[in-house]
């Protein structure tokens, strides 16, 4: 009997296994993409409009912790009667901050310290009231007459302590490239919200160096970011020809955007009246530096930086008009996160396909 050529019997099994593996791989990719879509949409909505936290109460009300009922913002009388100061936990140019207690809940009481800056204090209160959302620290009450603001307490404090927090044994599991990238996405989401808020386009002016930026934001216990200080938040109104200037002093250093620096050279003394105004694209210039801090030096962070190189280069364009919007930066961050999680979940995908 004539035997079949050996290569005929060896040809089909490998081909059949390859087809099965490919089918399983495609199914896995489909499931992973679906998971990533649902997961990312849960936390990051692509819309540039105001995004209210569904857990928030109606305007003028709040709730704390596990309490189901909403309470009205505390008045001067209620703050004086029901809030007890525990200790001073911080002091800036405008206000002093006290860890306090209200009905067995830890809260934060902020009080004006410099009467010359009361307009800044009241502006911050106005912004805090008007911009309540999932991006802004929760307002619990205020007293304009006594220049007092009451807000929710977040024990992890400002972002200046992020790296120290991530080295605490309880939080070491959070010290990964993807969690750090998600914090950067939170930060850009706040900037995006301020640039497209219900009241218009605001510029985050308390941002002349990295440490100052980090001090303006809080880290929540579930590792999200809230903006906490809105004292220096001027409004850009292009249709009315209104741009902004962050303060009345000369700004220097590579952290601030080129248009924020004195443009006439050292031979011309700085004069505030001669300093040209600018728009919200100053915030975009600073995003790469803040994100670089967020990414830190954990395993995988350099790969993230490599994927973000192009968008960060665009953020650093000298011409503000050529920089992307905060929404554009956020969209790119989301794509990079999706791509890197997919590659981490299915290593070797490209080679198999």
Q: What angle do CA 13, 17, 18 make, to 5 degrees?
A: 115
Query: For 123-143, what is the mean pLDDT?
Result: 96
**Contact assessment for residue 190 and residue 219, using Cβ atoms and an 8 Å cutoff:** no
Supply the mean pLDDT for the chain.
88
- Which pTM does this prediction carry? 0.84
Q: In the prediction, which pLDDT does 8 show? A: 47
The distance between the two most distant Cα atoms of the chain, rounded to a whole number of Å, is 107
Dump pLDDT digits (tens) for 248-289.
Answer: 999 999 999 999 999 999 999 999 999 999 999 999 999 999
Query: Can you point out the beta strands (E) in 59-168?
Result: 61-62, 71-72, 83-91, 95-102, 105-112, 139-143, 148-152
Q: In the prediction, which pLDDT does 12 show? A: 46
From CA 288, how far away is CA 176, in angstroms rounded? 19
3-state percent helix, strand, coil for the chain, nearest multiple of 5: 45, 15, 35
Q: In the prediction, which pLDDT does 239 show? A: 85
Q: Is the dihedral of CA 220, 222, 225, 227 positive or negative?
A: negative
pLDDT band at 7 (very low <50, low <70, confident <90, very high): very low
Q: Write down the domain spans for the chain.
A: 70-152, 157-344
From CA 269, how far away is CA 186, in angstroms rounded? 40
Dump pLDDT digits (tens) for 61-87.
Answer: 999 877 788 999 999 999 999 999 999
**Contact assessment for residue 127 and residue 230, using Cβ atoms and an 8 Å cutoff:** yes
Classify residue 261 by its DSSP letter.
Answer: B
**Contact assessment for residue 108 and residue 150, using Cβ atoms and an 8 Å cutoff:** yes
Q: Class of the 157-344 domain?
A: mainly alpha
Calculate the CA dihedral of residues 111, 210, 260, 272 and round it to 10 degrees.
Answer: 40
**Contact assessment for residue 276 and residue 263, using Cβ atoms and an 8 Å cutoff:** yes
Topology agreement, domain 70-152 and domain 157-344 = no
Rounded percentage of the chain residues whose pLDDT exceeds 90: 75
**Contact assessment for residue 108 and residue 62, using Cβ atoms and an 8 Å cutoff:** no
The whole-angstrom distance between residue 237's C-alpha and the CA centroid of its chain comes to 23
Query: For 317-341, what is the mean pLDDT?
Result: 97
Q: Does domain 70-152 have CATH number 3.30.200.20?
A: yes
Give the CA count within 13 Å in the CB-facing half-sphere of 300: 13
From CA 284, how far away is CA 195, in angstroms rounded? 10
């Amino acid at each position: 009997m004539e035997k079949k050529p050996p290569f005929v019997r060896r040809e089909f099994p490998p081909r059949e296994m390859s087809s099965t593996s490919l089918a399983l791989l495609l199914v896995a990719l489909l499931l992973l993409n679906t998971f990533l879509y649902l997961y990312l949409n849960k936390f990051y909505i692509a819309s540039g409009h105001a995004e209210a936290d569904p857990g928030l109460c109606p305007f003028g009300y709040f709730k704390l912790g596990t309490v189901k009922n909403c309470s009205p913002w505390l008045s001067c009388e209620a703050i004086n009667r029901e809030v007890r100061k525990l200790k001073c936990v911080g002091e800036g140019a405008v206000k002093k901050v006290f860890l306090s207690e209200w009905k067995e809940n830890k809260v934060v009481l902020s009080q004006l310290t410099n009467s010359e800056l009361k307009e800044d204090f009241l502006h911050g209160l106005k912004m805090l009231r008007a911009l309540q959302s999932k991006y802004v620290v929760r307002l619990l009450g205020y007293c304009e007459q006594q220049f007092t603001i009451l807000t929710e307490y977040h024990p992890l404090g400002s972002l200046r302590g992020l790296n120290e927090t991530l080295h605490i044994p309880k939080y070491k599991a959070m010290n990964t490239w993807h969690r750090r990238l998600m914090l950067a996405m939170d930060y850009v989401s706040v900037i995006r919200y301020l640039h497209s808020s219900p009241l218009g386009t605001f510029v985050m002016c308390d941002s002349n160096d990295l440490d100052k930026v980090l001090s303006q934001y809080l880290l929540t216990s579930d590792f999200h970011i809230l903006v906490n200080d809105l004292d220096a938040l001027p409004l850009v109104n292009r249709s009315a020809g209104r741009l902004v200037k962050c303060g009345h002093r000369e700004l220097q250093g590579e952290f601030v955007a080129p248009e924020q620096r004195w443009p006439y050279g050292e031979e011309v003394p700085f004069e505030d009246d001669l300093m040209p105004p600018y728009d919200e694209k100053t915030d975009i210039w600073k995003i790469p530096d803040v994100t670089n801090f967020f990414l830190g030096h954990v395993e995988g962070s350099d790969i993230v930086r490599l994927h973000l190189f192009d968008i960060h280069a665009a953020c650093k364009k000298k011409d503000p008009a050529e920089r992307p919007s905060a929404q554009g930066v956020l969209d790119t961050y989301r794509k990079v996160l999706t791509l890197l999680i997919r590659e981490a979940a299915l290593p070797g995908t490209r080679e198999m396909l």
